[in-house]
Amino acid sequence: MSDPRMAAREFAAIVVGGLMLAMAWLIPFQEAWKKGWTEHEFNAAMGQLVGATGDQIPRLGLIYGVVAALVMTAVHAVACRLLRRHWLVQGALSAALVFLLWGLVFAPLAGSRTDVPGGLFAADAGVSAVVWAAVSAVIGGLVLGRVYALVREAAWWERKHFDLRESIETIFTEEKPEKGETGYRPEGFTE
């Protein structure tokens, strides 16, 4: 990656993709917890795992959640180099990885080291935690796949040619209604 523009696009794709993944993961999961649909609070568990106490728990949980999403996006970027598939496939694979990392690593750690119910796939919090983690992972993975692919494409950054005259001319030179039909008549249009 010797081209600095390509390196900048890659960096931007990782940062934007990571931030979007963090939002897409946290919003459904945290809302489910706030509404009482699950007992597993990801943000509090993350904050307690990094050693926060008191009022710092939600803040540090959010910050470290974003850091984890950025790391996941970097892993996604490497996987995209190895697995050259459509963004939907890449996003689905990242969703599966996020879900597995949550269920096999994060939830057991949270259950053993925090007061948030955890265990393997947050079994202590009930089936709803698995459902909401899966929903959040699918949303997050697909958002990550699309955003990363979009930001990384050179066409997204290039200036687009837009000529108002050509656009107006195209409108008036395409299909015209036959005489006698109702509709707008562009014959009276002048420049």
Asked if the structure places residue 182 within a domain, the reply is no
Amino acid 99: pLDDT:
96
Q: Residue 40 above 70 pLDDT? A: yes
How many CB atoms sit inside 10 A of residue 109's CB? 15
Asked if the structure places residue 134 within a domain, the reply is yes
Predicted confidence band of residue 182 (pLDDT cuts 50, 70, 90) = low
Domain span holding position 91? 4-157
Asked if the structure places residue 120 within a domain, the reply is yes
Asked if the structure places residue 170 within a domain, the reply is no
Q: Residue 173 above 90 pLDDT? A: no
Please state, in angstroms and rounded to a whole number, the distance separating the CA atoms of residues 95 and 139.
Answer: 8
Asked if the structure places residue 190 within a domain, the reply is no
Asked if the structure places residue 177 within a domain, the reply is no
Predicted confidence band of residue 126 (pLDDT cuts 50, 70, 90) = confident
Asked if the structure places residue 171 within a domain, the reply is no
Please state, in angstroms and rounded to a whole number, the distance separating the CA atoms of residues 81 and 155.
Answer: 19
Asked if the structure places residue 173 within a domain, the reply is no
How large is the average pLDDT for residues 104-133? 91
Q: Residue 59 above 50 pLDDT? A: yes
Tally of structural domains, the chain: 1
Q: Write down the mean pLDDT value for the chain.
A: 86
Amino acid 191: pLDDT:
47
